[in-house]
């Protein structure tokens, strides 16, 4: 695949959008790679590496805002890190990979369209055991298909009432960063394949992430762009199911 300017522009927008809500953007990157015909052999590693950079920027922005709750993060991470490593080490059939990724993209679309409201002042105390098993489940599939898990963790935190919107963004960003790092370690241990254009992708995504994280901290309204991104994810999921 040659360097595609349209792909880089779309990559910037996706990184911007996801970073603004505390995500790394792996599901969006995977969707773009599917739409632009990137080989599946590069998709997991590329998405996780891009995730690492963008989630780090996003976490820093929300951490500086005082929204990070490390006690809530701990049980999720204890469960997720070893499972993300294990999932990344597994060699998955390309067709099965596309099917599972398609399902997760449909979930991502739903997440984009419907965001549970949790601006309640009273936060429910979290359950350590439940958080541990949620983390383990998300960690395994994160490593398996190359995402950070935040696209699913965020709505769960809000629905369970364990965190408000900004706290959820901070927790998700840190969860994604650590999961992505664990997934990359798993890929390296089993033989990682990296796209020759990855450096360009990282630079563009990182720039989009910086701007998105900054804008997100000021509660910038991104409704129209959010629905546009959901539409892109939907198209990618359809393509994955049909190809």
Q: What is the pLDDT of residues 129-144, one digit of tens each?
A: 999 999 999 999 888 8
Q: What is the DSSP letter of 36?
A: T
CB 170 within 8 A of CB 68: yes
The residue that leads in pLDDT, 176 or 224, is 176
d(C-alpha 173, C-alpha 146), whole Å: 15
- 210, pLDDT greater than 80: yes
Please tell me the predicted confidence (pLDDT) of residue 226.
63
181-206: per-residue pLDDT in tens?
999 999 898 888 888 999 999 999 99
Please tell me the predicted confidence (pLDDT) of residue 7.
94
d(C-alpha 110, C-alpha 3), whole Å: 31
Residue 45, Cβ neighbours under 10 Å: how many? 20
- 55, pLDDT greater than 70: yes
36's tokens: 């632009």
Helices (H) and strands (E) in the chain, counts: 10, 0
Please list, in sequence order, all residues whose beta carbon lies within 8 angstroms of the beta carbon of residue 66, skipping any fewer than 6 positions away.
none
189's tokens: 């241990």
**Structure pTM?**
0.82
Lowest mean pLDDT among 31-35, 145-149, 169-173: 145-149
Q: How many domains does the chain have?
A: 1
118 falls in which pLDDT band (50, 70, 90)? low
Q: CA nearest 201: which of 18, 20, 47?
A: 47
Using alpha carbons, list the distances in angstroms from residue 67 to 17, 71, 124, 166, 205: 19, 12, 16, 6, 24
Lowest mean pLDDT among 40-44, 119-123, 150-154: 119-123
CB 148 within 8 A of CB 55: yes
d(C-alpha 90, C-alpha 187), whole Å: 9
- 12, pLDDT greater than 80: yes
Q: Using the CB atoms, write b or e for 197-215: b if 16+ within 10 Å.
A: beeebbebbbbbbbbbbbb
Query: What percent of the chain lies above the pLDDT cut of 70?
Result: 85
229 falls in which pLDDT band (50, 70, 90)? low
Please tell me the predicted confidence (pLDDT) of residue 115.
60
Please tell me the predicted confidence (pLDDT) of residue 218.
63
pLDDT, average across residues 159-182: 88
- What range defines the domain where residue 150 resides? 5-242
């Amino acid at each position: 695949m040659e360097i595609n300017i349209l792909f880089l522009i779309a990559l910037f927008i996706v990184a911007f959008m996801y970073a603004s809500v505390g995500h790394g953007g792996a599901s969006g990157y995977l969707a773009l790679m599917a739409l632009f015909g990137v080989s599946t052999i590069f998709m997991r590693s590329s998405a996780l590496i891009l995730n690492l950079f963008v989630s780090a920027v996003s976490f820093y922005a929300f951490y500086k805002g005082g929204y990070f709750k490390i006690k809530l993060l701990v049980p999720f991470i204890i469960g997720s890190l070893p499972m993300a490593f294990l999932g990344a080490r597994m060699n998955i059939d390309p067709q099965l990979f596309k099917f599972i990724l398609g399902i997760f993209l449909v979930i991502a679309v739903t997440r984009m369209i419907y965001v549970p409201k949790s601006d309640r002042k009273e936060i429910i105390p979290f359950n350590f055991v439940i958080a541990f098993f949620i983390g383990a489940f998300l960690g395994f599939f994160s490593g398996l298909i190359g995402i950070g898990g935040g696209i699913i963790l965020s709505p769960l935190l809000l629905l369970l009432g364990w965190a408000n919107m900004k706290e959820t963004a901070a927790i998700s960003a840190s969860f994604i960063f650590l999961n992505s790092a664990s997934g990359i370690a798993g890929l390296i241990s089993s033989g990682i394949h990296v796209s020759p254009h990855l450096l360009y992708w990282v630079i563009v995504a990182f720039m989009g992430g910086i701007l998105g994280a900054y804008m997100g901290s000021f509660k910038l309204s991104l409704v129209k762009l959010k629905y546009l991104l959901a539409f892109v994810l939907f198209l990618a999921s359809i393509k994955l199911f049909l190809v």
